[in-house]
Amino acid sequence: MDSSFHPDEKVRILKVISTVMKFLALALSSATILLSASMPAEGLPQPSTVQVGSEPTAIQFLPDGVTAVVANRSSNSVALVNYRSFRVATYVRDLESPFAVQTCTCSRNYYVAGSKFLYLISSRSGKILFKSQKLMGVLSMASDPLKRVIYLTTGAFGYATILTALNFDTGHIIRQVDLGNTLTPFGPENLALVDQGKLLVMANSQDGSLDVFSTKSSELVRTIHVGGYPSEVTGIYSSNFVAVDASGVLKEIDTLNGAVVAQLRVSDISPNAITSSKDGTLLALAGQNGVTVVKVNPRSLNVVWHVSSGETFSVSLDPNSRQIIYGIGSKLIRRQFLTKH
């Protein structure tokens, strides 16, 4: 009996094989994407977790690069986390709804903004060195290590009315500027120092603009209209900065001429927090859809890593940008990530 296949039968078999191969390739591709986004890659350590307190809304590192300061808004506390062991070293308690932290490479002390007070706290003793109710209603903060100055906006109901420059070491007011009634979103990432600390950028959601101030005089230098509802800003490499609006669109902006040189949609809504790496080439965003890392290239922004973790309150990159740390629920999560540099 002739065991050879009929030509039509051969075609049918080849089609079946081709279909199966395409399906396997698609399944393998999907699995690879899922693994890279939601699971540690082969050879990378498992994520580390530590309980810190309810609603960790802000994370910043002290100058030693080992201690992370975490504000726990609903627990009325600040946790100091040893980054190497990833354990809580100590707590500072009985603070009024702390939601923002500002550290500075110029000092081992740090500022905490609460619902009623602004605190200056010693990281060595945990003692409150300075406590001001005159500066209640802090909306955002940024520090300049060269000038040893901390800038903050204060107001009520989301409207920033005063821009204040303080001596970082003592908390004494250097100068204040009346902002009128500027609608700035509630959160610590609404101020950013750019151009080697010469300029201070503030998000203004009222008219879709960014206000640029001179740090020398605190006077308004220019207003950059970018549209949408800018909610967070952060400095990146060179003198540019990135703003993100309420619709989840990142915009890289040239500080000198105010031009939008690149933009990227990273989510459907505004993130809860944004931060940049020490060299300004990576951005990390935390929001309702998890955590996203974006690579900043000349005139382009590209997503290089994402993990779906539910709503995330805060995010920070370690000083070497090899790991990411973020707050969710009542815990911090630390994990290593891979990017295509």
Q: What is the pLDDT of residues 133-160, one digit of tens each?
A: 777 688 889 999 989 999 998 887 667 7
- Which pLDDT value is given to residue 109? 96
Domain boundaries, the chain: 48-336
Mean pLDDT of the chain, nearest integer = 82
Q: Is 80 within 8 Å of 50 (Cβ atoms)?
A: no
In angstroms, the first-to-last Cα distance of the chain is 62
244 forms bridges with which residues in the sheet? 232, 250
Whole-model pTM? 0.82
Superfamily of domain 48-336: YVTN repeat-like/Quinoprotein amine dehydrogenase (2.130.10.10)
Confidence of residue 269 (pLDDT cuts 50, 70, 90): low
Residue tagged 């002290």 (tokens):
62
Q: Which two tokens stand for residue 82?
A: 């040893």
DSSP letter assigned to residue 123: T
Confidence of residue 16 (pLDDT cuts 50, 70, 90): very low
Place 92 in a pLDDT band, splitting at 50, 70 and 90: very high
Buried b (16+ CB within 10 A) or exposed e, 138-155: bbbbbbbeebebbbbbbb
Among 6, 52, 22, smallest CA distance to 316 is for 52
The identity of residue 149, as a single letter, is V
Q: Which residue has the tokens 């802090």?
A: 138
Residue 225, pLDDT > 60, answer yes
The closest of 232, 260, 226, 259 to 246, measured between CA atoms, is 232
φ, ψ (nearest 5 deg) of residue 185: -60, 150
Count the neighbouring beta carbons within 10 Å of the beta carbon of residue 175. 11
Element (H, E) at 30: helix 7-38
Nearest 5°: the CA angle 19, 23, 28 is: 150
**Better pLDDT: 270 or 283:** 283
Give mean pLDDT, residues 58-76.
95
Question: Which of 336, 115, 317 has its CA nearest to residue 234?
Answer: 317
Query: Which of the given ranges, 27-36, 121-130, 277-286, has the highest pLDDT on average?
Result: 121-130
